[in-house]
Amino acid sequence: MNAREEILGRVRLALADRPGSPEIDWEYGRPVSTGGLGLVERFAERVADYHAEVEMLDREDIGPAIAAALGDARHVVGDRTLRESWPSGAELEWLDASDLTSAELDQVDAVVTTATIGIANTGTIVLDHGRGQGRRAASLVPDVHVCLISADQIVSDVPEAVARIIELGAQTHPLTWISGPSATSDIELSRVEGVHGPRTLRVIVVR
């Protein structure tokens, strides 16, 4: 008997008592209270709580905000919209992640992505690596991640986020949930932000 048949056989034998399938007493996808704060404010507060930087602005201010968030980064990965709409003559060189190997990505200063969902109560951004976000390595290898999220992408908590992902049909896309910059407490229990992921996470919420 092959391993598959044998394991499945063992499972069936083990379940010979035929336990009934239990009811799950849980209503999926419910909104959760964000306390006294609105969705966007709660989101901003919680993102900041992870020591990521967050700012809220209007659509027309996006360009300058991105420029400011990028600081003195020179080689920046971004999607086509950004690359093409960025004023020429700027000192930035925009790169297309799909042209770059991992080693080349490692030489890039920063990456700008959009997000798929923001989760207010946990301060999480969810990427599905579709348009505007690039493949997973692109938002991982560079040291600075600037993430644009629009206010209407922000949901209250994890249940709504999961429901929204399913609604978008994104549940089988590669997904990355990011809650603050990477962190470790392995040295003397003191929290250090930034081990392998981008050490700087700047979230820009567009109203």
Distance in angstroms (rounded) separating the CA atoms of residues 188 and 193? 14
The smaller minimum CB distance to another protein, of residues 91 and 188, is found at 188
Q: Which of 10, 74, 80, 207 binds another protein (CB under 8 A)?
A: 10
Dig out the tokens for 29 from the structure.
Answer: 């996808």
Q: Which residue has the tokens 């004023």?
A: 87
DSSP bridge pairs for 201: 145
The smaller minimum CB distance to another protein, of residues 37 and 158, is found at 158
Residues 160-199 that bind another protein (CB under 8 A): 161-163, 166, 171-184, 186-190, 192-197
Distance in angstroms (rounded) separating the CA atoms of residues 153 and 40? 10
DSSP bridge pairs for 146: 112, 202
Residues 89-108 that bind another protein (CB under 8 A): 98, 102-103, 106
Site track for another protein across 111-140, x = CB under 8 A: --------x-xxxx----x-----xxx--x
Residue of 81, 152, 156, 66 lying closest to 111 (CA atoms): 66
Dig out the tokens for 126 from the structure.
Answer: 């969810």
Largest CA distance in the chain: 73
Residues 6+ apart with CB under 8 A from 6: none
Residues 19-78 that bind another protein (CB under 8 A): 19-26, 28-29, 46, 50
The smaller minimum CB distance to another protein, of residues 17 and 91, is found at 17
Residues 135-164 that bind another protein (CB under 8 A): 135-137, 140-141, 157-159, 161-163
> How many chain residues interact with another protein (CB under 8 A)?
73
The smaller minimum CB distance to another protein, of residues 140 and 146, is found at 140
CB of 142 to another protein, least distance (A): 12
